[in-house]
Amino acid sequence: MKRFILTTLVSTLTMSGLAQAEIYKRVDKEGRVTYSSAPVKGGQKLELAPLPTMQAQKVPPKSSSRTTNADFPKVDGETQSRRDDTRRKILEDELATEQQALKAAQEKLQVAQDSPQTFTGANGQTYRNVAKHDAEVSEAEDELKAHESNIKALKSEIANLK
């Protein structure tokens, strides 16, 4: 740990020295200008004025409490309670509808699983249409899952009401 602190301290001091390095300018016989941070034979040390800096503007911290405008509409407790009751009734009605649809989907799935699809071939024999049967079962399962998901979401919404 001491080694880490020492290394960090030395690095910081070294870098701050580099940030304020001296700059040398040299013009050769052909008129080419060379700038260097190390002394150059025939070069002159440049005296540069420090760059202007600005202080960062202080931003007032945001208030953690919620504030509302004076003209923001307010709802009294009784009105809010009526709205909550109306919302609860709507959600309960939707839940009852979804539960009925779930029962219908369960029956549809049972019928799809119990009645395989058949077709009669050119030779008069009866064959099972497995692909069509699987598609109907899959469709019924998807419908069942959708209703189960809707019921779960509605129950969650009802539980979240005040």
| pLDDT tens, residue by residue, 91-139 | 999 999 999 999 999 999 999 889 887 777 788 888 888 888 888 999 9
Q: Are 38 and 24 in contact (CB under 8 A)?
A: yes
DSSP string for 29-81: TT--EEEESS--TT-EE--PPPPP--PPPPPPPPPSS----TTS----HHHHH
Helix axes 130-160, 77-114, angle to 10 degrees: 160
Q: What is the pLDDT of residue 27?
A: 87
Pairs from 75-81 (Cβ < 8 Å, separation ≥ 24): none
Identify the sign of the CA torsion 68, 69, 72, 77: positive
Residue 73: pLDDT band with limits 50, 70, 90: confident
pTM assigned to the model: 0.50
pLDDT at 162 over 70: no
Give the pLDDT score at 29.
87
Give, for 106, the enclosing helix (H) or strand (E).
Answer: helix 77-114
Q: Are 127 and 118 in contact (CB under 8 A)?
A: yes
More confident residue, 9 or 149: 149
CB 45 within 8 Å of CB 24: yes
Assess contact for 37 and 24: CB atoms under 8 A.
yes
Listed in sequence order, the residues at least 6 apart from 87 whose beta carbon sits closer than 8 Å to its beta carbon are 161
Average pLDDT of the residues of the chain: 83
pLDDT tier for residue 67 given thresholds of 50, 70 and 90: low
What is the pLDDT at residue 152? 96
Higher pLDDT, residue 9 or 86: 86
